[in-house]
């Protein structure tokens, strides 16, 4: 009898608990246009924010921001390092370490440094640090050297003023300056050898890192002498590296994490109705793309007509809906959320129709084409590949999907020249300036593409022209021309943007998170985060 | 003298086993598709950067030379340098071993405290109502449900109904004992299920074998209490198979800890090596597998030694049987 009662209780308690666990709406005070959430300044400062993210920095360049080439490194390093300018929620350049700037000509930028900025060792930041940092960046081997543009010289006009001269106009210059690899470094300490940037982070930012164990945990504490009054609000931030999505979800559910970066596009459904938890999809300018190897064995994609036919068969809206649960958006090479981005629905591939694709295959003499798409196993990449497989079946192409771990994938795609794969799926960070990512369509600039991509001089010309065209009415046509050229080349085919899910306990933290991100930095507003429920 | 030669053979066999393991793991790590340069340097790296990285870590030398250098260093206690963090692997392991050891000890502790009494109970109750069914249920479930299935279920259930326990919120033992135990209970419970089941089954069989011995019948005839008979006669004589299974289960638990640590995000050696495989951090992978092999071999030798203490015929019998 007692056993029966116990079993009944076991069954009833979770049912009752789940009924009681109704969603508690997030306070409206934390919602603002352009933001997924905005920290409530009325909440008291202090406390420790507990965050979780799936991967740690993994660059061989260690902690040197100039050698960081992936968004997760920028995310972590940006807590310690700062840039001359930053980007707002609509990608507009905002003052950072430079409180203002002038552009006397399209090739000249003059930055006036913010007074009272110090590195975390207490030394004041000067124009010499800016000049030294930029010269180090330009002379180094980091990927951002290419993105920063055609910088000809960097000069200190006085201790608080720095002038950049470009060899030609470069519209994304301010956007490129806003990313962590362009951070201002403590050049005196770097040059006298007292700081090894690969092992130590020493910046002007709101936090200092006090502990790091690779793939386990980061601990940061607030800088009391940070230049922005009242920032950072939290005393400390712990960032746990939690590779398992279910564990991150569990931590949100049981309130052991305040905020977690999620990858599963079904996370909003999984966490729906969990008391105190909000899941928001952050749009990003990152996007998935399909590589068609022009050097593929058997010359499968050497004929541009075959590549074009494949591009036409891509149903980007379906990929977005099915593979990303409607959270991604169809895009061209200019990420669709950026100002002036081209409309992917107007691209030649989007308007041609499947009959044209079949006709192109016939003209190229291709029948019963079969090939393998190499995709890494991290979701939702396999789902994207599956939709592509179904898309291509409509024009008689048979696709086999090969799922690899990321190490094997990287080895197969980038490990040899010429590359031995047929097609591969990946994603690019889309950055914060329309046309920046297009640089990677020039394999002579982005050498990693040489194994599978043939240089296209006309495409290279259009890429450079789009970057040089100033903001204004002429820019949109230039970007449209860029999108069309990439669409026609079809060696790397942009597909859909890559959403990031941010889950947080609105009953324990009031975060600041942009609605759209260009540099994959979900923690961009961390200095504003406030904890809820503190006395 | 016979015992000494048995132990010498045992040691030679252990060394040979470790040598073969070292060759296999070295070859396997190098045969993995995708190298460290592709994974960690990423696609943007120049050929010069890749070459410099290979040279820095000796990856440009022949495989034989790399193996020789690695083995020589390992024999001198140097497990190499993590390609990713640039830190000595031994130091990194030192930070993570306590987590794995704690998890394994909790698992084996549960096997002893639950598995042995359960095995004795089901043996004593064999043929009576309830006893056999309980044993079969516990044994069958425990042995057949893999850790990743049970672990995923536990993570799901306890993320909704935490009951004071945490999933993924590990705190070191020395930092906060209560928080540490709250974070270790669930993974240890998942890890121990198999060990409990195997221990209970082995104990049950061993105890049943002893229960049919004439001296047990004599004890009963003398009017000794059941507890006394079990403690004094049964467990002592059934202890060798139980000890052997506990030892081999400990080695198994160290392997199972890889999955459990990964699921519950515990910063132990297992999850570290799994991540190192993904990053092609060869030094960590090689050291991790070698360490596991050493532990396995040592545990087996300790098991044999303990068996010899409990039953002096153990080593010599084996020789005599050949």
pLDDT tens, per residue, chain B with 322 residues: 667 787 888 889 888 988 998 899 888 888 777 777 777 777 777 777 778 777 877 778 888 888 888 888 888 888 888 887 778 899 989 989 999 999 999 999 998 999 888 888 888 877 776 666 766 777 777 777 777 888 888 888 887 777 778 887 788 888 888 888 888 989 999 988 888 888 988 888 888 888 888 888 888 888 888 888 887 788 877 888 888 888 888 878 877 788 888 888 899 998 898 888 888 888 898 898 888 888 888 888 887 777 777 666 655 544 444 4
pLDDT at A16 (0 to 100): 42
Chain B's closest residue to A248, CA to CA, is B168
- Residues in chain A with CB shorter than 8 Å from the CB of B92 are 214
| Mutation to test the A interface, candidates B53, B168, B180, B288, most A Cβ within 10 Å | B168
pLDDT at residue number A316: 96
pLDDT of residue A6: 44
- The interface residues of chain A toward chain B in range 278-337, judged by CB-CB distance below 8 A, are none
The predicted-structure confidence for A31-48, as pLDDT tens digits, reads as follows 788 999 999 999 999 999
- Can you tell me the distance from the alpha carbon of A480 to that of A436, in angstroms, rounded to the nearest whole number? 14
Nearest by CB: A242 against B32, B85, B265: B265
- Return the CATH number at B154: 1.10.3720.10
Of A427 and B311, more confident: A427
Q: Which residue has the tokens 């305040």?
A: A258
* Residue A19: per-residue pLDDT: 41
Residues, chain A: 535
Decide if B69 is inside a domain.
Answer: no
Of A58, A254, A415, the CB nearest to B34: A415
Chain B CB contacts of A447 under 8 Å are: 46-47
Nearest to A214 among B84, B161, B169 (CB): B84
B84 close contact with A: CB closer than 8 A: yes
Q: Range of B209's domain?
A: 95-278
Give the per-residue pLDDT at B311.
Answer: 66
What is the Cα–Cα distance from A438 to A464, expressed in whole angstroms? 9
Predicted pLDDT at A12? 44
Instruction: Tell me the shortest Cα–Cα distance from B219 to chain A, in angstroms.
Output: 36
Provide the terminal-to-terminal Cα distance of chain B, rounded to the nearest Å: 16
Nearest CA in chain A to B183: A256
Q: Does B38 touch chain A (CB under 8 A)?
A: yes
pLDDT over 50 at A86, yes or no: yes
Q: Which residues of B touch A198 (CB under 8 A)?
A: 86
* Predicted-complex ipTM score: 0.75
Contacts of A222 (CB under 8 A, 6+ apart): A206, A207, A232, A234, A235, A236
Residue of chain B nearest A443, judged by CA positions: B44
- Average pLDDT in the A471-498 region? 92
User: Is residue B11 in a domain?
Assistant: no
Cβ pair B43:A242 closer than 8 A: no
B66, B57 contact by CB (below 8 A): no
Mutation for testing the B interface, residue in A16, A20, A55, A215 having most B CBs under 10 Å: A215
Confidence band for A27, pLDDT divided at 50, 70 and 90: low
Tokens 């229960």 -> residue? B211
Q: Quick one: what percent of chain A has pLDDT higher than 90?
A: 74
Cβ separation B168–A250 shorter than 8 A: yes
Interface test with A, best of B169, B170, B262 (most A CBs within 10 A): B169
Q: Which of residues A61 and A81 earns the better pLDDT score?
A: A81
pLDDT value at A447 more than 50? yes
Q: How many CB atoms lie within 10 A of CB A235?
A: 14
| B2, part of any domain | no
DSSP three-state, residue A41: coil
Does the residue B34 lie in any domain?
no
Q: What is the pLDDT of residue A179?
A: 97
Contact: B38, A242; criterion CB under 8 Å:
no
Q: What is the DSSP string of B20-41?
A: HHHHHHHHHHHHSSS-HIIIII
Residue A392 binned pLDDT confidence (cut-offs 50, 70, 90): very high
B86 touches chain A (CB under 8 A): yes
Residues of A within 8 A of B41 (CB-CB) are 59-60
> Which of A358-372, A477-491, B263-277 is predicted least confidently?
B263-277
Q: How far is CA A261 from CA A53, A215, B145, in A?
A: 5, 15, 31
Q: In this predicted structure, what is the pLDDT of residue B66? A: 87
- For residue B15, being part of any structural domain is answered with no
According to DSSP, the β-strands at A207-213 and A370-376 are unpaired
Contact B118, B320 (CB under 8 A): no
Question: For an interface test with B, which of A216, A266, A374 has the most B Cβ atoms less than 10 Å from its Cβ?
Answer: A216
Please tell me the distance in Å from A62's CA to the nearest CA on chain B. Answer: 7
Q: Mean pLDDT over all residues of chain A?
A: 91
The C-alpha atoms of residue A374 and residue B133 are separated, in whole angstroms, by: 50
Between A391 and A250, name the one with better pLDDT: A391
Contacts of A410 in chain B (CB under 8 A): 34, 38-39, 42-43
| pLDDT tens digits, A254-288 | 888 999 999 888 888 888 888 899 999 999 999 99
Using CB atoms, which residue from B32, B159, B265 is nearest to A407? B32
Position A3 pLDDT exceeds 60: no
A231: contact with B, CB 8 A cutoff: no
Q: Which of A198, A217, A407 sits opposite B279 (nearest CB)?
A: A407
Mean pLDDT of all residues in A147-173:
96
Whether residue A445 lies within 8 A of chain B, CB to CB, comes out as: no
Q: What is the pLDDT of residue A144?
A: 93
**Any CB–CB contact under 8 A between B45 and chain A?**
yes
In a domain, B315, yes or no: no
Please tell me the least confidently modeled range out of A86-90, A297-301, B49-53. B49-53
- How many domains are contained in chain B? 1
Looking at residue B3, its pLDDT comes to 72
- pLDDT-derived band at A401 (thresholds 50, 70, 90) equals very high
Decide if B35 is inside a domain. Answer: no
CB neighbours of A292 closer than 8 A, spacing ≥ 6?
A: A301, A307, A310, A423, A452, A490, A491, A492, A493
CA distance A251 to chain B (A): 6
What does DSSP assign to residue B224?
-
Does residue A111 carry a pLDDT above 60? yes
Mean pLDDT of A110-117: 97
For residue B71, being part of any structural domain is answered with: no
Strand-strand pairing, A259-262 and A48-53 = parallel
Q: Tell me which residue in A249, A256, A410 faces B166 most closely, judged by beta carbons.
A: A256
Pairwise CB contact (< 8 Å): B160 & A14: yes
Residue of A nearest to B52 (CA): A60
Before A411, cis peptide (omega within 30)?
A: no
CB A476 within 8 A of CB A332: no
Q: Is the pLDDT of residue A1 over 60?
A: no
- Please list, in sequence order, all residues whose beta carbon lies within 8 angstroms of the beta carbon of residue B78, skipping any fewer than 6 positions away: B88, B90
| Closest CA in chain A for residue B153 | A246
Mean pLDDT of A418-428: 93
Interface of B with A in 98-127 (CB under 8 A): none
Binary contact (A243, B152; C-beta < 8 A)? no
Give percent above pLDDT 70 in chain A: 94
Residues in chain B with CB shorter than 8 Å from the CB of A257 are 168-169
Contact (Cβ atoms closer than 8 angstroms) between residue A387 and residue A379: no
Place of tokens 């519950």: B264
Cβ of B167 and A413 within 8 Å?
no
pLDDT computed for residue A394 by the predictor: 96
pLDDT confidence of residue A210? 96
Q: What Å distances lie between residue B259 and B102, B151, B279, CA to CA?
A: 15, 9, 17
**Does B48 reach chain A within 8 Å, measured CB to CB?**
yes
């Amino acid at each position: 009898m007692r056993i029966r009662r116990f079993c009944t209780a076991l069954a009833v308690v979770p049912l009752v608990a789940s009924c009681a666990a109704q969603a508690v709406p997030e306070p409206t005070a934390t919602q603002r246009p352009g933001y997924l959430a905005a920290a409530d300044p009325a909440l008291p400062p202090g406390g420790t924010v507990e965050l979780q993210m799936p991967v740690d920095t993994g660059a061989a360049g260690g902690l040197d921001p100039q050698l960081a080439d992936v968004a997760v490194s920028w995310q972590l390093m940006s807590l310690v390092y700062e840039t001359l300018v930053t980007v707002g929620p609509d990608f507009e350049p905002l003052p950072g370490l430079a409180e203002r700037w002038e552009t006397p000509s399209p090739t000249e930028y003059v930055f006036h440094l913010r007074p009272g900025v110090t590195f975390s060792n207490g030394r004041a930041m000067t124009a010499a640090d800016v000049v030294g940092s930029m010269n180090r960046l330009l002379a180094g081997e980091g990927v951002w050297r290419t993105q920063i543009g055609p910088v000809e010289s960097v000069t200190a006009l006085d201790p608080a003023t720095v002038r950049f001269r470009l060899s030609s106009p470069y519209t994304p210059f301010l956007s490129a300056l806003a990313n962590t690899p362009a951070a201002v470094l403590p050049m005196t300490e770097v040059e006298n050898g007292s700081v090894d940037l690969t092992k130590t982070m020493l910046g002007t930012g709101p936090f200092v890192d006090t502990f790091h164990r690779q793939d386990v945990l980061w601990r940061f504490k607030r800088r009391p002498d940070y230049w922005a009054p009242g920032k950072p609000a939290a005393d400390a931030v712990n960032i746990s590296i939690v590779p398992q999505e279910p564990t991150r979800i569990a931590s949100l559910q049981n309130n052991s994490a305040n905020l977690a970066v999620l990858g599963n596009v079904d996370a909003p459904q999984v966490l729906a109705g969990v008391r105190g938890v909000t899941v928001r999809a952050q749009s990003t300018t990152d996007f998935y793309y399909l590589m068609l190897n022009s050097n593929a064995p058997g010359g499968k994609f050497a004929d541009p007509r075959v590549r074009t036919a494949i591009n036409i068969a891509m149903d980007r809206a379906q990929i977005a809906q099915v593979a990303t649960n409607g959270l991604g958006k169809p895009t061209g090479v200019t990420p669709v959320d950026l100002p002036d981005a081209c409309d992917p629905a107007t691209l030649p591939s989007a308007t041609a129709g499947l009959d044209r694709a079949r006709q192109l295959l016939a003209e190229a003499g291709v029948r019963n084409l079969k090939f393998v798409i190499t995709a890494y196993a991290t979701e939702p990449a396999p789902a994207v590949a599956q939709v592509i497989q179904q898309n291509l079946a409509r024009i008689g192409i048979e696709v086999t999907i090969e799922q690899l771990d990321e190490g094997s994938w990287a080895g197969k795609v980038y490990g040899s020249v010429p590359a031995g794969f047929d097609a591969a799926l990946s994603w690019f960070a889309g950055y914060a300036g329309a046309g920046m990512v297009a640089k990677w369509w020039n394999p002579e600039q982005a050498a990693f593409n040489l194994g599978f991509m043939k240089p296209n001089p006309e495409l290279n010309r259009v890429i450079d022209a789009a970057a040089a065209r100033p903001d204004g009415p002429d820019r949109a046509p230039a970007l449209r021309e860029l999108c069309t050229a990439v669409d026609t080349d079809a060696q790397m085919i942009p597909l859909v943007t890559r959403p990031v899910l941010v889950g947080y306990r609105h009953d324990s933290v009031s975060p600041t998170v942009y609605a759209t991100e260009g540099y994959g930095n979900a923690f961009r507003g961390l200095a504003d985060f406030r904890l809820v429920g503190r006395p | 003298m016979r015992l000494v030669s048995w132990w010498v053979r045992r040691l030679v066999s252990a060394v040979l086993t470790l040598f073969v393991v070292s060759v296999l793991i070295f070859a396997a790590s190098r045969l993995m598709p995708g190298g460290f340069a592709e994974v960690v340097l990423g696609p943007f790296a120049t050929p010069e950067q890749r070459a410099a990285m290979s040279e820095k870590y000796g990856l440009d030398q022949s495989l034989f030379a790399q193996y020789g250098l690695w083995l020589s260093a390992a024999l001198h206690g140097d497990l190499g340098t993590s390609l990713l963090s640039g830190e000595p692997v031994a130091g990194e392991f030192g930070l993570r071993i306590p987590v794995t050891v704690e998890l394994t000890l909790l698992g084996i502790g549960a096997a002893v405290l639950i598995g042995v009494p359960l095995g004795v109970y089901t043996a004593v109750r064999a043929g009576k109502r309830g006893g056999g069914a309980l044993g079969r249920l516990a044994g069958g479930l425990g042995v057949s449900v893999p850790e990743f299935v049970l672990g995923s279920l536990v993570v799901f259930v306890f993320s909704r109904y935490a009951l004071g326990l945490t999933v993924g919120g590990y705190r070191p033992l020395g930092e906060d004992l209560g928080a540490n135990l709250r974070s270790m209970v669930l993974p240890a419970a998942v890890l121990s299920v198999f060990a409990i089941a195997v221990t209970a089954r082995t104990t049950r069989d061993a105890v049943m074998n002893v229960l049919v011995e004439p001296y047990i019948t004599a004890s009963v005839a003398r009017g000794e209490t059941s507890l006394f008979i079990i403690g004094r006669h049964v467990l002592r004589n059934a202890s060798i198979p139980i000890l052997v299974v506990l030892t081999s289960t400990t080695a198994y638990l160290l392997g199972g800890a890889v999955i459990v640590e990964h699921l519950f995000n515990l910063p132990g050696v297992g999850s570290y090596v799994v991540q190192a495989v993904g990053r092609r951090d060869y030094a960590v992978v090689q050291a991790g597998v070698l360490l596991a092999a050493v532990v396995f071999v040592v545990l087996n030798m300790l098991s044999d030694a303990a068996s010899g203490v409990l039953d002096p015929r153990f080593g010599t019998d084996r020789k005599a049987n050949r």
